[in-house]
């Protein structure tokens, strides 16, 4: 049984910007990159497929394909089913007020060593962050992501690498969708 993975696209199909039609993307990935068992989950850039041997190379190829076909340059970050399960198990905020206010940001690379300290200075009352390997957990409390000072540019600068966030509900669904199939 082959392991499956999620390819997480950053900031696609948001408010009419960075439009990447998922049906067309599924077709391109199957035909041009020969990915197997390709599916997508919601339009915000979650691609599920059988994991190839070289995930970093796949991310670069998918990014290029999206750029060529949709004129959108977006980081593509991959995590296998096993990695997604490990991320879920490492949740530092199991007491979060709401699953939709708890996000995990999947990072393209290793975070800057001072990232956690730099981000903590920007937190609003009720917000918490925790850096766990290549993931940054953000608990927005009851205020939500729309009111935070942890903007994309602040996060990118502090972390030193690109990332894309999903709420806890989406993480759980991605684990389900990447589960091995017989």
Domains of the chain listed by start with CATH number: 4-83 (3.30.70.1280), 89-177 (3.30.70)
Q: Which residues make beta-bridge pairs with 77?
A: 8
Query: How far is the C-alpha of 29 from the C-alpha of 66, rounded, in Å?
Result: 10
The pLDDT value given to residue 15: 61
pLDDT digits (tens, 9 = 90+) for 81-116: 999 999 999 999 999 988 889 999 999 999 999 999
Q: Among 174, 161, 146, which Cα is nearest to 39's?
A: 174
List the one residue out of 19, 40, 14, 18 whose CA is nearest residue 29: 40
Instruction: Find out whether 7 and 63 touch, Cβ atoms under 8 Å.
Output: no
pLDDT at 181: 77
**Which of 9-18, 49-58, 77-86 is predicted with the least confidence, judged by mean pLDDT?**
9-18
Q: In whole angstroms, what is the distance from residue 6 CA to residue 96 CA?
A: 24
Residues 6+ apart with CB under 8 A from 55: 5, 78, 80
Residue range 114-124, pLDDT digits in tens: 999 999 999 99
**Strand segments (E) across the chain:** 4-9, 39-40, 46-50, 76-80, 102-107, 128-132, 135-139, 163-167
pLDDT for position 112 = 94
């Amino acid at each position: 049984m082959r392991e499956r993975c999620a390819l997480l696209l950053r900031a696609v199909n948001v408010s009419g910007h960075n439009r990447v039609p998922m049906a067309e993307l599924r077709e391109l990935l199957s035909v041009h990159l020969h990915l197997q068992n390709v599916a997508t989950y919601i339009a915000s850039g979650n691609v599920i497929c059988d994991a190839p041997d070289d995930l970093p190379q796949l991310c670069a190829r998918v990014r290029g394909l999206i750029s060529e076909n949709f004129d959108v340059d977006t980081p593509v970050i991959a995590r296998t089913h096993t990695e997604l399960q490990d991320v879920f198990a490492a949740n530092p905020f199991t007491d979060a007020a709401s699953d939709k206010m708890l996000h995990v940001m999947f990072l393209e690379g290793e975070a800057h060593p001072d990232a956690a300290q730099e981000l903590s200075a920007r937190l609003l009352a009720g917000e918490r962050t925790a850096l766990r390997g290549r993931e940054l957990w953000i608990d927005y409390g009851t205020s939500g992501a729309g009111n935070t000072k942890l903007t994309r540019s602040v996060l990118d600068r502090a972390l030193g690498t690109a990332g894309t966030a999903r709420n806890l509900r989406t993480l759980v669904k991605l684990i389900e969708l990447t589960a091995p199939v017989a």
